[in-house]
Structure 1
Amino acid sequence: MYELLLLATAVGAGFLGSLLGLGGGIIVVPVLTLVFHVDIRYAIAASLISIVATSSGAAASYLKDSLTNLRLAVFLEIGTVSGAIVGFLIASYIKAQFLYLLFGFLLLFSALMMLRKREEHMSHHNHPWAEKMKLDGSYPDGKGGWIDYKVENVPLGLFAMFGAGVLSALLGIGSGIFKVLAMDGAMKLPIKVSSATSNFMIGVTASASAGAYLLKGDVRPEIAAPVAVGIIIGSFIGAKVMVRMPASRIRQIFVLVLSIVSIQMIMKGLK
């Protein structure tokens, strides 16, 4: 019965996460800790396992559609994987109270970012690093043509990826929102390329963190298995339903849910 409830919860988390492109981890960790009273470290480990599974399927689709900048993703993974290793090493020394507070404030930040309207602001000039490593590229416009783009502020993007990797290991999330913000805002990539490249990177970052938690013994199969399966199912359903459902309404409801959960997480951390 417990496993079935976990599965149903994970399906809902995967569904909502897929609709908004955040992944299920940012939803399932608070639910596991607040509703099921799972230790936050076990919840984080289970979330990381599910992120690896869901990211792999979506990444293959984006690669096929030529939206992922593979060369840039591999370069930026230097920052994210390094950050994930650092995050895992310091996680043992951080109190659970701080993790609750950090997660709560991260949820509030995510809610604010969802309200922000994204605008395309592509660059027409490469950073010297991007020029040297040929990090620029092009993506299909959906009408049979291709749109060229350049890459700016590569060092800043690499530093932001390090921070995203630390957060991924500490909180059990793909930290996709930070990756997209870094590529979209700092590096001036098109939003489609940012989202697709972020999705590819999320799985690699989560793999590094999940492997470390597995060696540490924090991966509990009775929690991780139903959560992973549920999020995969929910993500698949969400991707199908997203086309028919008005995104603005989903966004408003989800911002409300995120705000309520974030306040609960912060209150639990303060206690």
Structure 2
Amino acid sequence: MRRWHATVLGLGLALIAASAQAAGPALGDGPPWWVWPLGLFVACFLMGIVAVPAGIGGGTLFVPIVGSFFPFHLDFVRGAGLLVALASALSAGPTLLRGGLGSLRLALPLAVLASASSIGGALLGLAMPAHVVQTLLGAVVLGIVVLMAVSKKSEFPQVDRPDALAQALALNGVFIDGASRRIVHWQVHRTLPGLLTFLAIGVLAGMFGIGAGWANVPALNLLMGAPLKVSAGTSGLVLSLVDSSAAWVYINKGAVLPMIAVPSVVGMMLGARIGARLLDVLKGSVIRRMVIGVLLFAGLRALLKGTGVWL
């Protein structure tokens, strides 16, 4: 068993070293190549801790931060960003499902539409120049900051009566709130507008590689009326399906480097396990303020880098 583990570790290191040579022009004459994978691991571990309780997905933090402060081409960062968001969602998924915070029944119809549109978004993003995508990414991230700052998330929205489509799909459930220890029964409404919204969210997820969890939570909570914690938990399940579809486009185009993806995915998965446990006990407002501050700085950096003001 130990010999098998050593073989896998050796292959992983060989892949990372080979991809470091492929990324050589971007790295320049700065620090040795191993500094960047180590930095990615630490940064993604911290991102994973805050991303799951915030329900935004690891890619929402990963792409603007790594794309602005690490010496990698944005196409490679977006490809890794989808794998990072996928890893954090898959790592947190079992915990969310066991606690009733993630509803697979609610996630599936939304994820089917978003997955299909994310493929088109990925093809569109790879066809655009890097500086254009960087500028648009900065604008989108700043829009996310505004949305998160002004939206008044209701922890337990009141849905008096579900619509016919929600009843047909049985989009309801129950969970025990870890903070108050109360049993919460929930149901949703405005199902058709919600499905159309997730169709548009999928395009953004594939184009920017950011997972679009930032849009999933407001759509589930404010539009469809799911409780805030159920919205955050279900967002992770949706991400696991949507990002897996868009990621194949980047893999097929050769836009995934092991040097970037491997340490990022490992760090994000470890951090997401901690974040999934924090979701049940932490106040969402604490994590939300932290994420808003980080995204504001990263969005400004991406916008200025894309426009050539701050390279």
TM-superposed deviation, 1:246: 7.8
Any idea what SS the aligned residue of 1:148 has?
Answer: strand
Larger mean CA deviation between 237-246 and 132-141 belongs to 237-246
Q: Is the 8 A contact 1:124 1:149 kept in 2?
A: no
Query: Structure 1 length as normaliser, TM-score?
Result: 0.88
Q: Counterparts of 1:81 and 1:254 in 2: how far apart (Å)? A: 25
Size of the alignment, in residue pairs?
271
Any idea what SS the aligned residue of 1:155 has?
Answer: helix
Any idea what SS the aligned residue of 1:139 has?
Answer: strand
Q: Counterparts of 1:147 and 1:240 in 2: how far apart (Å)? A: 19
Any idea what SS the aligned residue of 1:232 has?
Answer: helix
TM-superposed deviation, 1:166: 1.0
| 2:111 equivalent among 77, 90, 101 | 77
Any idea what SS the aligned residue of 2:118 has?
Answer: helix
TM-superposed deviation, 1:237: 4.4
| 1:162 equivalent among 184, 199, 203 | 199
Residue 177, structure 1, aligned to residue 214, structure 2: yes
| 1:137 equivalent among 173, 184, 207 | 173
Q: Counterparts of 1:150 and 1:72 in 2: how far apart (Å)? A: 10
TM-superposed deviation, 1:158: 0.6
Residue 62, structure 1, aligned to residue 91, structure 2: no
Larger C-alpha radius of gyration, 1 or 2? 2
TM-superposed deviation, 1:227: 0.9
Residue 124, structure 1, aligned to residue 160, structure 2: yes
Percent identity, aligned pairs only?
Answer: 28
TM-superposed deviation, 1:247: 6.5
Any idea what SS the aligned residue of 1:92 has?
Answer: helix
Name the residue aligned to 2:293: 256
Larger mean CA deviation between 85-94 and 74-83 belongs to 85-94
Q: Is the 8 A contact 2:55 2:231 kept in 1?
A: no
Q: Counterparts of 2:66 and 2:133 in 1: how far apart (Å)? A: 14
Give the letter aligned to residue 109 of structure 1: G
Name the residue aligned to 2:39: 5
Evaluate the alpha carbon distance shift between residue 133 and residue 248 of structure 1 in structure 2; reply closer, same or farther with a 3 A threshold. closer
Evaluate the alpha carbon distance shift between residue 19 and residue 137 of structure 1 in structure 2; reply closer, same or farther with a 3 A threshold. closer
Q: Is the 8 A contact 1:184 1:191 kept in 2?
A: yes
CA deviations on 1:202-231 (whole Å, 9 max, x unpaired) are 111111111221112111111100111122
| 2:64 equivalent among 20, 23, 30 | 30
TM-superposed deviation, 1:134: 2.2
Evaluate the alpha carbon distance shift between residue 205 and residue 105 of structure 1 in structure 2; reply closer, same or farther with a 3 A threshold. same
Q: Is the 8 A contact 1:160 1:178 kept in 2?
A: no
Q: Is the 8 A contact 2:57 2:239 kept in 1?
A: no
Q: Counterparts of 1:197 and 1:253 in 2: how far apart (Å)? A: 21
Name the residue aligned to 2:145: 111
Q: Counterparts of 2:167 and 2:303 in 1: how far apart (Å)? A: 44
Query: Structure 2 length as normaliser, TM-score?
Result: 0.78
TM-superposed deviation, 1:80: 0.8
Evaluate the alpha carbon distance shift between residue 248 and residue 140 of structure 1 in structure 2; reply closer, same or farther with a 3 A threshold. closer
Q: Counterparts of 1:129 and 1:86 in 2: how far apart (Å)? A: 27
| Structure 2 unaligned blocks of 5 or more | 1-33
TM-superposed deviation, 1:71: 1.8
Evaluate the alpha carbon distance shift between residue 185 and residue 241 of structure 1 in structure 2; reply closer, same or farther with a 3 A threshold. closer
Q: Counterparts of 1:6 and 1:180 in 2: how far apart (Å)? A: 26
CA deviations on 1:17-40 (whole Å, 9 max, x unpaired) are 245332322222223222222111
Q: Is the 8 A contact 1:184 1:194 kept in 2?
A: yes
Larger mean CA deviation between 41-50 and 9-18 belongs to 9-18
| 2:223 equivalent among 181, 186, 190 | 186
Name the residue aligned to 1:203: 240
Give the letter aligned to residue 183 of structure 1: L
Larger mean CA deviation between 71-80 and 255-264 belongs to 255-264
CA deviations on 1:41-67 (whole Å, 9 max, x unpaired) are 100111111222211121111111223
Evaluate the alpha carbon distance shift between residue 227 and residue 155 of structure 1 in structure 2; reply closer, same or farther with a 3 A threshold. same
Give the letter aligned to residue 123 of structure 1: V
Residue 44, structure 1, aligned to residue 78, structure 2: yes
